[in-house]
Amino acid sequence: MNATQELMRRHTSVRKFLPDAISDEQLQHWIQAGQQASTSSFIQATSVIRVRNPTTRCQLAELAGQQEYVASAPLLLVFCADLLRASTLAEQQLSQPLPQGYIEHLLIATVDTALFAQNVMLAAESEQYGGVFIGGIRNAPQQVAELLALPSLVYPVFAMCLGKPDQAPSLRPRLPTDLVLMEERYQPLQPEDPRLHQYDAEVRQYYRERSGGKKDMSWSEQMAQLLGKEARPHMLAFLHNQGFALR
């Protein structure tokens, strides 16, 4: 396996950081790596906001569900899906209002932003930094949008904490590849599939070891807990309010 793939396969989220600062130059390099990610129709629908103000950081940590590292990580970036930039220029070119609010545009901008951010994470990891995505900011997207002065056609997809790791978490086991990689046709998972049972046992063991026996949960149980409850039902109204997903 080559060094790039080894790096990718070593990924674990990092939530505890040493205080070492990240230079402007490093940040520029990581963002440039993000910018070079594929982008749907060349739309480049991502803006990244670095938040340094300690008060704003604390507010974001609170809004994200009291995730302390959002306040304390050496670097906090908020990744925004941004259709405003391209729309402003298009409107100027066409000298007329644009047809807006297509859910396709929401998908494009969100996918672009995720690809951009993953490149940033990987660039940081390639320099022995680590980090974690923070979807928790979507607990309170309206307040986040106000804190960051986000206009219409821009929404915060997630944040990312980055810094030198002060922990070395073990790899979180992923599903068996042959349950994920399918040939020719979709192959629905059979709940009684022994590969799934084995994976459930592996995840349970991972949690037991990581938590010193306190957390005892299989992947299936975790999915039941996650998908058995509401998922940020405020997002639809918020996205509408920002001019997304109207048709």
Ligand X SMILES: Cc1cc2nc3c(=O)[nH]c(=O)nc-3n(C[C@H](O)[C@H](O)[C@H](O)COP(=O)(O)O)c2cc1C
Question: Nearest distance from residue 166's CB to ligand X, in Å?
Answer: 15
Which residue in the block uniquely carries the two structure tokens 């129709």? 41
**Which residue lies nearer to ligand X by CB, 135 or 165?**
135
Of 9, 10, 13, 18, the one binding ligand X by CB under 6 A = 13
The C-alpha atoms of residue 118 and residue 110 are separated, in whole angstroms, by 12
- Tell me the site size for ligand X, rule CB under 6 A: 13
What Cα–Cα distance (Å) separates residue 93 from each residue in 82, 90, 98, 100? 18, 5, 11, 16
If we measure between CA atoms, which residue out of 155, 140, 157, 133 comes closest to residue 69?
133
Centre a 10 Å sphere on the Cβ of residue 229 and count the other Cβ atoms it contains: 7
Q: Does 172 bind ligand X (CB under 6 A)?
A: yes
Question: Nearest distance from residue 57's CB to ligand X, in Å?
Answer: 15
Binding mask 36-75 for ligand X (x = CB under 6 A): ----------------------------x--x--------
Q: Does 218 bind ligand X (CB under 6 A)?
A: no
Three-class DSSP category at 155: strand
Binding mask 120-139 for ligand X (x = CB under 6 A): ------------xxxxx---
Q: Which two tokens stand for residue 20?
A: 């070492």
Interacting residues with ligand X (CB under 6 A): 11-13, 15, 64, 67, 132-136, 158, 172
